[in-house]
Amino acid sequence: MRRLEGEVAIVTGATSGLGREIARVFALEGASVVVSGLDAARGAAVTEGIVSEGGAAAFVSADLAVEGDCTALVRQTVERYGGVTVLVNNAVAVASDGPVGKADAAAWVAAYRVNLLAPALLCREVIPHMLEAGHGSIVNISSRAAERGTPNYAAYTASKGGLNALAYSISVDYGREGVRCNTVQPGYVLNPERDAGVSTERMARLRAMHLTRMTTAVDVAMAALFLASRESEVITGEVLHVDSGSTAVRAASLG
């Protein structure tokens, strides 16, 4: 049996990058997947690719900065597939917002709405359906920025820290009822398009920060798959670092 056979999963920010790979892996492991994002053309391409590999997927357009879109995303999922048992909060707003002393309110609000408020709203909407099903798994995709500051990304860093804390609250509130929430926290993830512009010297420095090989989108997707599946039924409220040991390297270098 495939690891997500019979599950219904929503993956936000699934039209590219990590979300696209997570949606693909989940579908191949038996889940009916709702691919969510803003770009309809890219969403259609992702779903068509999944279907061509034998998976079940549908695209639902949603602007997660809008509360009504969060509600509609879950409603349309339930209407199509009869419920929802897995949610992956992957969509993200990343912007250089400056240090705390200079970042304006608009930057804080923009990061908060997509990176923290939207996941909270989606959790609010899916949890009743998970309770009805008798089980559910929420996987938040965070960032190592949540645990170590990044210059000029104050709002982004704080919002990711809040996302980690959200998992703790959901675990305490709903763990006894079969609904779990965990966090995957990637470090630097290889991206062929972005990395094409990275100098040889910088790439060498990046590789030196890692104890194993560099992390790929597939690695992150497989970690999310484990946390979404029944294989991790006794795991909730955890932060799983998927960073090739770079957190350990940094800790060692700081003594």
Positions annotated as catalytic residues are 156
HSE-CB for 96 with a 13 A CA cutoff: 2
Q: What single letter denotes the amino acid at residue 225? A: L
HSE-CB for 49 with a 13 A CA cutoff: 15
* DSSP bridge partners of 242: 186
Write out the E strands in 44-166: 56-61, 86-89, 136-141
Rounded Cα distance, 126 and 128, in Å: 6
Task: List own/partner pairs for 100-109 with CB under 8 A and 24 or more apart.
Answer: 100/154, 103/154, 103/155, 107/155, 108/155, 108/158
- Are 36 and 13 a contacting pair, CB within 8 Å? yes
Burial annotation 98-132 (CB, 10 A radius, 16+ → b, else e)? eeeeebeeebbebbbbbbbbbbbbbbebbbebbee
Q: 217-228 and 17-28 are packed helices; what angle lies between their axes, rounded to 10 degrees?
A: 50
